[in-house]
Amino acid sequence: MSEKKVNLAVAGATGAVGNQMIRCLEEADFPVRSVRFLASSRSVGRMLRFKGESIAVEELKEDSFKGMDIALFSAGGGTSEKYAPYAAKDGCVVVDNSSAWRMDPEVPLIVPEVNSHAIAQYKNKGIIANPNCSTIQMVVALEPIYKKFGIKRIVVSTYQAVSGTGKKAIDELFDQTRAMINFLDYESKVYPHPIAFNCLPHIDAFLENGYTKEEMKMANETRKILEDDTIGITATTVRVPVFYGHSESVNVETKAPVCAREVSALLEQAPGIKVVDDPKNNRYPLATDAAGQDLTLVGRIRDDDSIANGINMWIVADNIRKGAATNAVQIARVLVDEYL
Ligand code: A2P
């Protein structure tokens, strides 16, 4: 472990993920010399707590990163696209939670349990991308399977919490639920339809091919992280009325013969994973159990008898923690320990 201390900025510090980044930095006792919390001009004057101190939020500007070593960004794609290069120019390494840089061939896309070796590529542009929340938890569980059996094809359906959309969506689910059970009028502002008591097969914008951007992110990012363009991936992403924790039904077709028992044994040993798989006693991964902690929970591991080499799994993680903030802080930790 390094004794180094860094100057660290959080851009989007007042948002759902930014706030969790701050909590994760505290929990990890991250070696900071100083911190800087950045957001839009709307938040200037707000105070945020960090390690017992109150820190004033500053407006994110081109010169916010002078003297900073690392910046964790979670302020939307447009903000990252505009400001990450200013940070990099000032020698501050960006760990970006938006989708802006993920598929840039010069920017590494990192899940530390899976491809931490690729972090070295941050030197190309001074930027590291944090993958999409649904991708992160899936690849944590896929990597050990990929290494041992190879992967031919993945079919995934997601059940994603509203916190992935941000604070406004958390409020919308809460307000709509309260209104509906009291027979009051309600509005849908964040999503095109009511999210309370509903499932929306629509996350991010629709593309020409009929998939949503979220679905294509899962396919493209998984191939980039596993460094294998030959894997076939088809995704259906669904927003459900859950506050925290994404759940995923994942069907994997491997290259080599595989069985559920072997996969369970493999995942029991894998970093960042907790196998929760005792269906006889009603024990399987739940969003309510995943929320508030950092492990990816895997259960319902069973053979897919409809194909030669197939496995089904149910994968659940806290989308704001491992799906975003925790993963970013883990990347920053490797940066401090091994590169800066
Ligand atoms: P602010 O609170 O000042 O609007 P969420 O994803 O939960 O909605 O949070 C988005 C985060 O990104 C917030 O911290 C928000 O700050 C910040 N943000 C959004 N747009 C900008 C911008 N143009 N410049 C700086 N920060 C921004």
Identify the residue whose C-alpha is closest to ligand 1 atom 22: 40
Residue to mutate, 21, 23, 37, 40, ligand 1, most ligand atoms under 8 Å from C-beta: 40
Identify the residue whose C-alpha is closest to ligand 1 atom 2: 14
Please report which residue ranges of 12-132 form alpha helices under DSSP H: 16-27, 77-89, 112-115, 122-125
pLDDT in tens, 156-189: 999 999 999 999 999 999 999 999 999 999 999 9
How far does the centroid of ligand 1 lie from the alpha carbon of residue 45, in Å? 14
> What pLDDT does residue 237 have?
98
Burial call 81-104: b when 16+ CB within 10 Å, e when fewer? eebbbbbbebebbbbbbbbbbbee
Identify the residue whose C-alpha is closest to ligand 1 atom 6: 166
> What pLDDT does residue 3 have?
76
Query: 24, 193, 199, 246: which one is catalytic?
Result: 246
- CA-only gyration radius of the chain, Å: 20
**Closest atom, ligand 1, to C-alpha of 57:** 3
**Closest atom, ligand 1, to C-alpha of 59:** 25
pLDDT in tens, 99-140: 999 999 999 999 999 999 999 999 999 999 999 999 999 999
How far does the centroid of ligand 1 lie from the alpha carbon of residue 36, in Å? 15
How far does the centroid of ligand 1 lie from the alpha carbon of residue 11, in Å? 8
* The two structure tokens encoding residue 231: 């894997």
Please name the residues in contact with 178: beta carbons below 8 A apart, sequence gap of 6 or more: 184
* Closest of 277, 278, 320, 322 to residue 296, by C-alpha: 322
CA–CA distances in Å: residue 262 to residues 141, 148, 267: 13, 10, 9
**Closest atom, ligand 1, to C-alpha of 168:** 8
**Closest atom, ligand 1, to C-alpha of 41:** 3
Please report which residue ranges of 184-236 form alpha helices under DSSP H: 213-226
* Closest of 300, 1, 273, 15 to residue 163, by C-alpha: 15
Q: Establish whether 92 is a catalytic residue.
A: no
How far does the centroid of ligand 1 lie from the alpha carbon of residue 102, in Å? 19
**Closest atom, ligand 1, to C-alpha of 167:** 7
Query: 24, 133, 193, 202: which one is catalytic?
Result: 133
How far does the centroid of ligand 1 lie from the alpha carbon of residue 172, in Å? 17
How far does the centroid of ligand 1 lie from the alpha carbon of residue 14, in Å? 7
How far apart, in whole angstroms, are the C-alpha atoms of residue 72 and residue 81?
A: 13
- CB-based pocket (< 6 A), ligand 1: 12-16, 18, 39-40, 42-43, 60, 75-76, 79, 166-168
How far does the centroid of ligand 1 lie from the alpha carbon of residue 39, in Å? 5
**Closest atom, ligand 1, to C-alpha of 11:** 26
Q: Establish whether 117 is a catalytic residue.
A: no
Domains contained in the chain, CATH given: 6-130+324-338 (3.40.50.720), 134-319 (3.30.360.10)
Residue to mutate, 79, 81, 189, 244, ligand 1, most ligand atoms under 8 Å from C-beta: 79
Q: Which residue stretches of the chain have pLDDT < 50?
A: none
